[in-house]
Amino acid sequence: MIRNHLTIALRSFFNGKGYSFINVTGLAVGMACTILLFMVVQHETSYDLSQSNFERIYRVETENIKENHTYPGTYTGMGNALRADLPEAEIIAPVMQTGGRTMAAGEKKFRESFVFADNALFRTLDYTWIAGSPARALSQPGTIVLTRAYAEKYFGTVDALGKTIRVDNAQDLTVTGVVENYRVTTSFPFNMLVSFGTVKQLDPGFDDNRWNGWNDNYQVYVLLKKGIDAAQLTGRFEDVVLKYMGKEMLADKRFKLNRLSEIHYAGNLGGRTANTGLLKTLSAIGVLVLLIACFNFINLSTARAFKRAKEIGIRKAIGSNRKALIYQFLAEAGLITFFAGVISLILSILLLPVLAAALAIPLTLDDLLTPQIALFTLVLLVLTTLLAGVYPALRLSGMAPIWTLKNNAVPRTGQWFSMREGLVVVQFTVSLVLICCAMLIDRQLDFFRNADLGFNKSAIITVGLPDNKPEKLQTLRNELTRSAQIKDVSFSFNSASAESNWMQGMEYREGPKVVQVKSQMKMGDSHYLDTYGIRMLAGEPLKDSDTTNFRILVNEIFLGRIGITNPRAAIGQRVYFGDGNEFATIAGVVRNFHVNSLHQKIDPTLIQIVPNNYYQAGIKLQNENASTASIQTALADIEKAWTAVYPDHLFEYSFLDETLAKAYQSETRTARLIEAATILALLIASMGLFGLATFTAEQRTKEIGVRKVLGASVSSVVGLLSKDFLKPVVLAIAIASPVAWYLMNQWLQNFEFKISISWWLFLAAGLLMTAIALLTVSFQSLRAAMLNPVKSLRSE
């Protein structure tokens, strides 16, 4: 019986080559899309789950209650505090990341970032040791543990114990351990782990018991004892605030534990985070594209049924029961799904590198050839067969044999016809929603690219400073300004806009009235405003000599917070650092500029001269539209100056506009994915519409012939055939427009600065969809309308 079903299925497959091609292609594209997106979601949701104690590992996070924002980092005093005051913890493992260091082993030099840690990290996370002892490897200052890859990178072998790596030509580190390379799916991709005892040797000013400022690069991980519920430790952390920060901080600060399995979705030291919204979008896209392909199968199967009406009637007349017919049609669906599955795997192999590059996810062919993906593909084949085959099988097997033998056609019941139209409406609704979303996301990205940031980001090259001694910086400035390609140079803590910023609490006191303002501190020299093009509104710029008299510049928002409306009236006013007696005098007011990405509002901002905190050089080129050749000349001049001042350090640079653009990588990837999904959905839906138009034209061959004999023109016949297919498209436009508006309005809430949703966007999308539908059906409509009526009537 099974052999008979397969034989008939193969015969039906090759008899309807066009129908089979459309179904196989549509299902293959849908299944490939689903498989690839499943791989992405599986990869992003598997981070850190391989850790043996992952259910007991938590990160201590700092919540600013007033801002309603949680930071992944914490105070450097937290590690010591928890060791003393959290008996529920089995292990406390602090980790601090640092970057921009020149690491040298003999003649080999590399610019690296690494982390400071202690042996507690090796008892918290799983490491496979090649050499060294996890109990002693980081016990002493000046020690380092390497991964296999980095041992081979620096020494050409994993036999690296006792060998030396020099940091910034100032500190020697002895290799005391080598571990296996980390898994790809980890939030701890650390190739170099340096003992915490080394921190003060590299940074003498480091305070390991600080409670008045924190850095997201300093994080504390806790391995709780078995049976301890993290939710019950809230009181413990309130005690930490009271003991180390004071009762008044309870209203502003809160510490909480976040599961290890959740830190991949927030800031982590690995540098890669997953966007939960994007993962949900990917899952929805995969399901929708597959459903559109299945709807094609259903529509084409039912549309093609009139050709098989007599076959079904004869089978029933000679004794075939409905169950056997259902198995027969499911076998045909299964055969088509099988061929589609084979093609989908080929497409997945070809498209995987493109997807991995677009999403910046380390997926390889090995990730596709896993038991999990094989099982998912098998389940997908079965589900697709059932989704695509059950309704046609039930519909076709339920036809009355007398009716089909008498009429050689399938009865056109209102319900059946509306079902087919309903599926077309769903297909084009999904496609139209995707078109609207893609158009609006692209407009928002254009807004990001072209928004007035309040400063000039063009033609600025940023370079990290390994040494900020005044004499070094002056020499570097002299060397750089000799180049005809360089207009200005500024030394600062960071750029005018940056993701990492220094937050400072300030107070404005006017008699008994005290206004507290949490501000961003921009520390830059006297060239800062000119280099970044920040405009003054009142007062005078800062001088490099303003290091002793605490003169500062403030932005307009800062003035608004302290209740001053006239910028000139602010000149000479005092603002106090925190709640202390140390104050600064407002020397000038600058125009508002975006210190953060456009996701966030503009913060109150101060600009101050603080040479000890200059860690970056901003280099403004002479020509904002410089040619590639002049840029290369400028880079060569910058590297030459750098090498003259910092001969023992490697030169690295970045363009400010490219750095700022990285803040919108998630949105850019979302846009590209939705655009790709839109193309796929439109392709599948259009193929299905083309198939339906083909079968409709075949069904109405005699009607068209009669109409032409009676004098109907080609255009009237084309209009008649096209009209039926435009109805579901128009209905799809009416349904999709409010849905797309709602989804995009929700998405735009993620941004403090955003575009407005214009009505013409939905009109443009609707016109585009109508044009695609007309182009899809017009070929078959025109072909049917131009057929000789004599042949049309004879064919019946």
> What is the pLDDT at residue 676?
82
Provide the pLDDT confidence category of residue 40 given band limits of 50, 70 and 90.
confident
Q: Is the pLDDT of residue 796 over 70?
A: no
Please tell me whether residues 36 and 104 are part of one structural domain. no
Q: Is the pLDDT of residue 646 over 50?
A: yes
Please tell me whether residues 94 and 209 are part of one structural domain. yes
Q: Is the pLDDT of residue 378 over 80?
A: yes
Q: Where is mean pLDDT largest: 58-62, 281-285, 509-513, 729-733?
A: 58-62
Q: What is the 3-state secondary structure (H, E, C) of 636-696?
A: HHHHHHHHHHCCCCCCCCEEHHHHHHHHHHHHHHHHHHHHHHHHHHHHHHHHHHHHHHHHH
Q: Is 299 helix (H, G, I), strand (E, B) or coil?
A: helix
Helix then strand then coil, in percent of the chain rounded to 5, is: 55, 20, 30
* Amino acid making up residue 703: E
Q: Is 285 helix (H, G, I), strand (E, B) or coil?
A: helix
Cα 325 vs. chain centroid, distance in angstroms? 48
DSSP state of 198: G
Q: In this structure, is residue 272 part of a structural domain?
A: no
What's the pLDDT tens digit per position in 225-245? 998 888 888 888 888 888 888
Please tell me whether residues 162 and 101 are part of one structural domain. yes
Going edge to edge, which strands form the sheet with 616-621?
Answer: 486-492, 616-621, 460-464, 654-655
Please tell me whether residues 202 and 128 are part of one structural domain. yes
Q: In this structure, is residue 557 part of a structural domain?
A: yes
* Amino acid making up residue 480: L
Provide the pLDDT confidence category of residue 750 given band limits of 50, 70 and 90.
confident
Please tell me whether residues 735 and 670 are part of one structural domain. yes
Provide the pLDDT confidence category of residue 308 given band limits of 50, 70 and 90.
low
Provide the pLDDT confidence category of residue 532 given band limits of 50, 70 and 90.
very high
Q: Is the pLDDT of residue 337 over 50?
A: yes
Q: Interior CA angle at 637 toward 636 and 642, to 5°?
A: 95
Q: In this structure, is residue 474 part of a structural domain?
A: yes
* Amino acid making up residue 215: N
> What is the pLDDT at residue 416?
42
Please tell me whether residues 63 and 39 are part of one structural domain. no
Q: In this structure, is residue 273 part of a structural domain?
A: no
Higher-confidence residue: 621 or 334? 621
Q: Is 772 helix (H, G, I), strand (E, B) or coil?
A: helix
Q: How far apart are the C-alpha atoms of 332 and 5, rounded to whole Å?
A: 8
> What is the pLDDT at residue 126?
94
Q: Is the pLDDT of residue 415 over 50?
A: no
Q: In this structure, is residue 277 part of a structural domain?
A: no
> What is the pLDDT at residue 122?
95
Q: In this structure, is residue 608 part of a structural domain?
A: yes
Please tell me whether residues 777 and 673 are part of one structural domain. yes
The mean of the pLDDT values for the chain is 83
Mean pLDDT along residues 543-559 = 85
Please tell me whether residues 653 and 606 are part of one structural domain. yes
Please tell me whether residues 470 and 574 are part of one structural domain. yes
What's the pLDDT tens digit per position in 140-156? 999 999 999 999 999 99
What share of the chain has pLDDT > 90, as a percent?
A: 25
Domain boundary among 598, 633, 661: 661
**Least confident residue range of 198-202, 258-262, 638-642, 707-711:** 707-711
Mean pLDDT along residues 73-84 = 90
Sign of the C-alpha dihedral computed for residues 6, 8, 11 and 15 taken in this order = negative
Please tell me whether residues 151 and 39 are part of one structural domain. no
Residue 272, both tokens: 């890669």
Please tell me whether residues 317 and 426 are part of one structural domain. no
Domain boundary among 639, 661, 683: 661
Mean pLDDT along residues 698-707 = 65
Residues making up the chain, counted from first to last: 796
Please tell me whether residues 430 and 471 are part of one structural domain. no
Domain extent, residue 108, equals 54-265
Question: Which residues on adjacent β-strands are paired with residue 70?
Answer: 63
> What is the pLDDT at residue 672?
80
What share of the chain has pLDDT > 70, as a percent?
A: 84
Sign of the C-alpha dihedral computed for residues 440, 443, 448 and 449 taken in this order = positive
Domain boundary among 646, 661, 676: 661
> What is the pLDDT at residue 414?
45
* Amino acid making up residue 557: I
Q: Where is mean pLDDT largest: 281-295, 632-646, 679-693?
A: 632-646
Q: How far apart are the C-alpha atoms of 95 and 268, rounded to whole Å?
A: 11
What's the pLDDT tens digit per position in 440-495? 888 888 888 888 888 888 889 999 888 888 898 999 999 999 888 899 999 998 89
Kind of pairing, strands 108-117 and 192-195? parallel
**Least confident residue range of 42-46, 181-185, 489-493, 701-705:** 701-705
> What is the pLDDT at residue 155?
94
Q: How far apart are the C-alpha atoms of 348 and 355, rounded to whole Å?
A: 10
Q: How far apart are the C-alpha atoms of 155 and 151, rounded to whole Å?
A: 6
Q: In this structure, is residue 29 part of a structural domain?
A: yes
> What is the pLDDT at residue 793?
56
> What is the pLDDT at residue 16?
61
Q: How far apart are the C-alpha atoms of 177 and 701, rounded to whole Å?
A: 81
What's the pLDDT tens digit per position in 97-139? 987 788 999 888 898 889 999 999 999 999 999 999 999 999 9
Q: How far apart are the C-alpha atoms of 605 and 542, rounded to whole Å?
A: 15
Q: In this structure, is residue 276 part of a structural domain?
A: no
Provide the pLDDT confidence category of residue 405 given band limits of 50, 70 and 90.
low
Q: Is the pLDDT of residue 417 over 50?
A: no
